[in-house]
Amino acid sequence: MIGVLGAGAFGTALAVALAQDGRKVMLWGRNAGVMDEMAQSRQTARLPGVTLPEGIEITADLARAATAETLLLAVPMQTLSSVLGSISDPLEGQKLVACCKGLDLATGEGPSHVIAHAKPGALPAILTGPSFAADIARGLPTALTLACEDAEAGLVLQHVLSTKTLRLYRSTDVTGAEIGGALKNVMAIACGACIGAGFGDSARAALMTRGFAEMTRLAVHLGAKAETITGLSGLGDLALTCTSELSRNYRYGQALGRAEGFDPSVTVEGAATARAVAALAARDGIPMPVSGVVAALTEGKVTIAEALEELLSRPLKEE
């Protein structure tokens, strides 16, 4: 049995893909009424047109869902710690695979560290890369990175979680995978703001490129391998998220660029991550100008015109 904690679009899509490939899956969500409706209708508003296979058991019982040997943690990054804290079982020896992307705003840490603090006896791993929930649920071909410091456990997870259409590449560079997945959301906000403000595709390409340099710079500073950022968890996810309106972070950036409001019920991981990255960069003296500007934009400290001026007025330098 595979447990999926989080019945949002991505968690549900993973549950659908795994169940369609013959796995037994238990999908947990915190709202009992919503989960009862999903169980009866086998539908969810999060994934219109997708039928939930009978192989998915739907529950609002967190303790029961947490008994699965492998748990996919598909909850928002900023709630990961509280969800794990709500599980009284120490989850000793269980494989906890974080499917959320970002840095914890309170600690500046990625999901693997949050797991290690909350459940020190569990085995943490990361599932990340270029993917939209609707594509996964519809069975469209998707490739992701599965990062786990324990190489043997990573190999087991790779086979447990791969399907005919969901191809997983394994890595032991958990930090690199985390940073790639976290910062691509920050850059997606920047690129969305760029397009929303009418600055054009050339400016977006520049932001993506300089943003990729920041992703690599921070990852290496934190002990990751630079080549991890050139893979699915970094460059791959960056390319997808910075160019598609299916990305919530990109759409949020567009709204910032147009000086429009944005639905507060929509999770935008990149906003909190930008602030966490800006604090980390200031603490460690790491140049992260794009991330810093995004943090300031999301907090309303600068306008889009001021953000552009801040980036363009930086001293000229060698690439």
Per-domain residue ranges of the chain = 2-172, 183-312
Q: Can you read off the two tokens belonging to residue 46?
A: 């999060």
State pLDDT tens for residues 32-79.
Answer: 999 999 999 999 999 999 999 999 999 999 999 999 999 999 999 999
CA atoms of 198 and 179, how far apart (whole Å): 29
Task: State the pLDDT at residue 287.
Answer: 96
Run of H or E residues at 169:
strand 166-171
Is residue 30 a known part of a binding site?
Answer: yes
Q: How many C-beta atoms surround the C-beta of residue 282 within 10 A?
A: 11
Q: Among all residues, which ones are annotated catalytic?
A: 184
DSSP strand pairing (95-98 vs 56-59): unpaired
Report residue 143's pLDDT band, with 50, 70 and 90 as the boundaries. very high
Task: State the pLDDT at residue 319.
Answer: 86
Give bridge partners of residue 3 from the DSSP assignment: 26, 71
Is residue 210 a known part of a binding site?
Answer: no
Is residue 247 a known part of a binding site?
Answer: yes
Quote the CATH superfamily of domain 183-312.
N-(1-d-carboxylethyl)-l-norvaline Dehydrogenase; domain 2 (1.10.1040.10)
Determine the CATH number of domain 2-172: 3.40.50.720
Reported pTM? 0.94
| SS3 track for 228-295 | HHCCHHHHHHHHHHCCCCCCHHHHHHHHHHCCCCCCCCCCCHHHHHHHHHHHHHHHHCCCCHHHHHHH
Contacts of residue 74, defined as CB under 8 A and 6 or more positions apart, other chains included, come to: 4, 5, 6, 8, 10, 11, 14, 99, 100
**Is the confidence at residue 116, as pLDDT, over 90?**
yes
Is residue 180 a known part of a binding site?
Answer: no
Is residue 225 a known part of a binding site?
Answer: no
